[in-house]
Amino acid sequence: MSKRQNVSGGTCQICHQTRPLNQLLPARLVRGGVLPLIKKQHPDWDEHSLICFTCLNRYRADYVQQLMEKDLGELDELEQEVVKSLQDNALLSENINEEYEQQLTFGDRVADMVAEFGGSWKFIIWFAIFILAWISLNISFLLWQPFDPYPFILLNLILSTLLPFRPPSS
Ligand SMILES: [Zn+2]
């Protein structure tokens, strides 16, 4: 139904593993200092590529290590420990999207689904068909007893209850 579900995965162009989309980041969102490090090892990796959080965190730790070495010279044991824990912590935070989705309430999910369906072409087309069918049925009063004769007051009532579900204008 949704685009998010149709395209459920992608490939990290660094490790060539297929991952769910919420574990991949488009290259254009990779920040400054980390980018040259990736490009150095993967020259073909361009702005249309994807990178998984595992690979990205490895490069982030490399980047921090480089910065620290530039400032402090050779890293001592404690500093290496810091770099390592940075890497581990980064791994802990890699599933932010998943955590976010887990904390959505039932109401949030229903609201998302309603907004997604209400804004889709499928809905608009079915809605147009529904209104045309309703009006056609009720103006063919020579054949049937109309259940909502012109000017379609019941239809008007139904439409007005739908107004709160209009997708927000952006
Ligand atoms: Zn990867």
What spacing in Å lies between the alpha carbon of 48 and ligand 1's midpoint?
15
Rounded distance from Cα 38 to ligand 1 centre (Å):
11
Judge whether residue 33 has pLDDT over 70.
yes
**What spacing in Å lies between the alpha carbon of 123 and ligand 1's midpoint?**
38
pLDDT for 131: 93
Q: In the prediction, which pLDDT does 1 show?
A: 41
Average pLDDT over the chain reads 80
Q: Tell me the two tokens of residue 6.
A: 């149709």
Contact 75, 65 (CB under 8 A): yes
Model pLDDT, residue 10:
87
Using the mean position of ligand 1's atoms as its centre, give its distance from the Cα of residue 27 in Å.
12
Q: How far is the C-alpha of 30 from the C-alpha of 58, rounded, in Å?
A: 13
User: What is the 3 state secondary structure string of 87-119?
Assistant: HHHHHHHHHHHHHHHHCCCHHHHHHHHHHHHHC
What would the pLDDT profile of 64-94 be if each residue is shown by its tens digit?
Answer: 888 888 877 777 777 777 777 777 766 555 5
Q: What separation in Å is there between the alpha carbon of 18 and the centre of ligand 1?
A: 8
Output the six-digit token pair for 150.
């012109």
What pTM was estimated for this model as a whole? Answer: 0.44
Rounded to the nearest 10°, the torsion over CA 5, 13, 102, 167 is -50
For the stretch 91-127, pLDDT in tens is: 555 566 676 777 888 888 898 888 888 888 999 999 9
